[in-house]
Amino acid sequence: MGKQTDKDKTIGATIALNKRARHEYHLEQRVEAGLALQGWELKAIRAGRANIAESYAIVRNGEIFLFGAQITPLISASTHVVADARRTRKLLMHRREIDQFIGKVERDGYTIVPTSLYWKRNKVKIELALAKGKQKHDKRDTERERDWNREKQRVLRRHNKDA
C-alpha cells in the first residue's frame, strides 16, 4: 500500500451534522442525495464553513429543495457572483426516491430533515431522513433510555474489570 494522500482522507469525511434532528424527531427512512452547488460554495465547504443545524427540505413542483442550510462564503469568494449564504439549493435524487418522499410527506405527514453533510469521493452528499416530530414525553423517554444504557455500560465495565 502507498501513502495515504489528502484526497484519500476526505473520502467519507463528515462535513456537518444535524445533532438536533435525533433529539427533535423520530427518524425513519434515510436516503442519500446530491447537492447542486456553486463554485464558491464548494470552496467554502472545503474550508469547513457549512452548517445544516436549522435546515429542512421541502417539495416544490415535483423536486426537493434544501432550505436554511448555511454555507458562509469565503472572503476571497468570486467578485462576479453575489454570494448568498442561505440560498435555496436543489437536491439531486432519483425520480423514484423523490416520488416516494413526496408520497410520505403529503399523505402521512412526514418532514424531510437533513441529518448529515459529507464527502463521497469528490462529491458533497447530504443524508436526508423522513421524520415525525417527537412529543415532550417522547424526548424524556429517549433521554431516560440513553442515560440507562450509559449507566449499564459503566456497571458492565466495572464488573468485567473486577473479574
Do the domain assignments include residue 112? yes
Do the domain assignments include residue 156? no
Q: Say what the pLDDT of residue 114 is.
A: 93
Do the domain assignments include residue 147? no
Alpha helices in the chain (DSSP H): 6-9, 19-24, 39-46, 95-108, 136-162
Do the domain assignments include residue 144? no
Return the residue matching grid coordinates 426537493.
Answer: 64
Do the domain assignments include residue 152? no
Do the domain assignments include residue 74? yes
Do the domain assignments include residue 157? no
Please determine, for residue 24, whether its predicted confidence score (pLDDT) is greater than 90: no
Write the pLDDT tens digit of every residue in 92-140. Answer: 999 999 998 888 888 888 888 999 999 998 889 999 998 887 777 777 8
Inter-residue contact 98 to 33 (CB < 8 Å): no
How many domains, the chain? 1
| Domain carrying residue 15 | 9-134
CATH of the domain at 121: 2.40.280.10
Could you tell me the pTM of the whole model?
0.72
Do the domain assignments include residue 149? no
Write the pLDDT tens digit of every residue in 44-84. Answer: 888 888 888 888 888 899 899 999 888 888 887 666 777 77
Q: Say what the pLDDT of residue 1 is.
A: 44
Inter-residue contact 111 to 101 (CB < 8 Å): no
